[in-house]
Amino acid sequence: MRFVELLSEAEVRRTHEASLEVLETVGILAHFAPAREVFKKHGCTVDDETGLVRFPAAVVEKYRKMAPPSFTFRGRDPQYDRTIPDDGPIVVTGSSAPNVVDPVTGVERRATSTDIANIAHLINELPGFDVFSISTLADDAPEGQFSLSRFYPALKNCLKPVRSNTPNMDDLRQVVELGELIAGGKEAYAQRPIINHHYCPMVSPLTMDVDSTEAVMWLTERGLPVYTTVVPNAGLTSPMTLMGTLVVGNAEFLAITVFQQMVKEGTPVIYASLPTVADMRTGAYAPGAIETGILLAAQAQLAHFYGVPSGGYIGLTNAHSNDAQSGFETGMNTVLGVTAGATLLNMGGLFSSLMAFDFAKAVVDNEIALMDKRAYRGLEFSEENLALDEIAAVGPGGSYMSRKHTKSRMKTTAVLPRLAARDMRQQWEDAGRPTIDDRALAEARRILAQPNEAVWDGELDAKIREHFAGLVAGDATPLEG
């Protein structure tokens, strides 16, 4: 399929050059001293007093070309491994919301490790999702187990790749230890690292932080999978033009990519982003606005130019319930992304601009994800698909309904939605006028009432629980009510 291109070839090149100019003349503020050493050693100009790093264009060009063309997410079960762009678009849940909309009371509250276990089970079963990025925090985390209380229930209840971040190095080491226990040892884990790490070390505009940069460097040195997201916000952390925002975000992507290649040549990356335009009436964050989709589409084009996979947090919403806004923000933006060739969609399950997870929203987003994947397949042009023999066989005035040709393709040509209404109005009235939220929540309940086949065996669980004393239970439970 041909992807939508918002920029001409010359405009892409100029955007790239403009980003090089920013890196060379404005530079990046790097707060983590060892990162500055890496930059210094590989040809950047570093001012240790201010922390400012300037990148000669030739240095950026040399290292950014070392980034390989694909990135692999690994799950506990290898059949769920996904490599982008070839297996794309892959759909990922939104992550690290502090709250959850309680599926019984409908009231937003702090999320717990039990919620994470339930969400992991749900995502494991929903076919539209490929990667479980741990959707919430765990408010019940015991002291010293902030991240463990998220990764343990997530990994225990989901065979698909699990992805998330950690706030500090102690947590990161703990989480990798957990991965090694699951894999059966350090070596086995190095072969198949099943925890997929993600950080935002670039703080717009043009700044590298300490904690996330340290984590990215540590993981990159060890060859463990990690990718980063750039997050420019027009009007606050980037200029109030989409092009200026594209340039700032692109310079940031180049800086962190070059950094990772300097640490270890050939480290896989993703051009991932969450570009937004702040609502200038109040300064409000607006990740569901259409401008996010436009910018992400342009970044997909730049990523194509750089030969790396792309995507990011697209399809988020500012809405607080499963209303029309929630649907149009997730739907319109993800369509813009996939038609431009983005193959990573961090879209599922969150309301209120990343503040709260909602079970029904995740089920709705699963359906949107299936539509996005269908849109990405496009028309599937082929001689066979022109179906000329079939057109001739049926002839004028005939029907295709009872044909073998139709029967053999009826489940693959079109998305068969479970939630979208296709019945007549009277049928809908008779069913008590169910909303999309009602239907989605019922589907979440149905799934979570089933036993979870993904949970690992008792022997492994005992080993993990012995290693990490006081660990949360991490078990999924059917939704009440």
Least gap, CB of 87 to another protein (angstroms): 29
Q: Which residue, 202 or 295, has its beta carbon nearer to another protein?
A: 202
User: For residues 308 and 472, which CB has a smaller minimum distance to another protein in the complex?
Assistant: 472
- Read off the tokens for 415: 């998305």
Pairing of strands 132-133, 162-164: parallel
**Region of 2-10, 57-65, 105-113, 388-396 interacting with another protein (CB under 8 A):** 105-113
Q: Which is nearer to another protein, 97 or 159 (CB)?
A: 97
Instruction: Rule CB under 8 A: choose which of 25, 79, 187, 281 binds another protein.
Output: 281
Q: Is 354 in the site for another protein (CB under 8 A)?
A: yes
Among 137, 248, 286, 362, binds another protein (CB under 8 A): 137
Residue among 207 and 406 whose Cβ is closer to another protein: 207
Residue 25 touching another protein (CB under 8 A): no
Helices 9-21 and 57-64: crossing angle in degrees, nearest 10, is 120
Q: Considering the rule CB under 8 A, would residue 138 count as an interface residue with another protein? A: no
Q: How far apart are CA 381 and CA 150, in angstroms?
A: 44
Residue of 93, 96, 133, 343 interacting with another protein (CB under 8 A): 96
For another protein, which stretch binds (CB under 8 A), given 323-331, 352-360, 399-407, 427-435? Answer: 352-360
Near another protein in 232-271, by CB under 8 A: 235-237
Site for another protein in 163-222 (CB under 8 A): 165, 167-168, 203, 207, 209-211
Q: Does 30 bind another protein (CB under 8 A)?
A: no
355 lies in the binding site for another protein (CB under 8 A): yes
101 binds another protein (CB under 8 A): no
CA distance 195 to 188: 13
Q: Which of 14, 54, 109, 264 binds another protein (CB under 8 A)?
A: 109
Q: Which of 14, 31, 192, 374 binds another protein (CB under 8 A)?
A: 31
Closest to another protein by CB, 11 vs 211, is 211
Q: Least distance from C-beta 210 to another protein, angstroms?
A: 7
Number of residues located near another protein, criterion CB under 8 A: 30
98 touches another protein (CB under 8 A): yes
CB 363 to another protein: min, Å: 23
How near is the Cβ of 280 to another protein at its closest, in Å?
4
Query: In Å, what is the CA distance from 255 to each residue of 30, 238, 307, 387?
Result: 10, 16, 16, 49
In the complex, minimum distance from the CB of residue 466 to another protein, in angstroms, rounded to a whole number? 27
282 binding another protein? (CB under 8 A): yes
Interaction of residue 108 with another protein, rule CB under 8 A = yes
Task: Give the distance between the most distant pair of CA atoms in the chain.
Answer: 81
Nearest CB to another protein, comparing residues 70 and 207: 207
Q: Would you say 244 and 278 are in contact if contact means Cβ atoms under 8 Å apart?
A: no
Which of 3, 146, 305, 328 binds another protein (CB under 8 A)? It is 146
Kindly tell me which of 141 and 421 has the beta carbon lying closer to another protein: 141
Contact residues for another protein (CB under 8 A)? 31, 96-99, 108-110, 137, 146, 165, 167-168, 203, 207, 209-211, 235-237, 280-285, 353-355
